[in-house]
Amino acid sequence: MIENVVEFFKNLPPKQCAQCGEKIEEQHECYGNTCEKCNTI
């Protein structure tokens, strides 16, 4: 059962920045749909 969950997350598409389209790596907090660069104000 646990292996199925892992496979489920593996099949998920990589998180992408909605602004520049760059792949967003794993982060401690959720910044929404933008990468760290685009999120920086």
Displacement of CA 5 from its chain's centroid (Å): 17
Instruction: Using the structure block, give the residue that is written with the tokens 């920086």.
Output: 40
- Number of residues engaging Zn ion in binding (CB under 5 A): 6
Q: Which is nearer to Zn ion, 15 or 22 (by Cβ)?
A: 22
19: contact with Zn ion by CB under 5 A: yes
The CA-based angle 31-10-40, given to 5 degrees, is 15
38: contact with Zn ion by CB under 5 A: yes
User: To the nearest whole angstrom, how small is the minimum distance from the Cβ of residue 39 to Zn ion?
Assistant: 8
24: contact with Zn ion by CB under 5 A: no
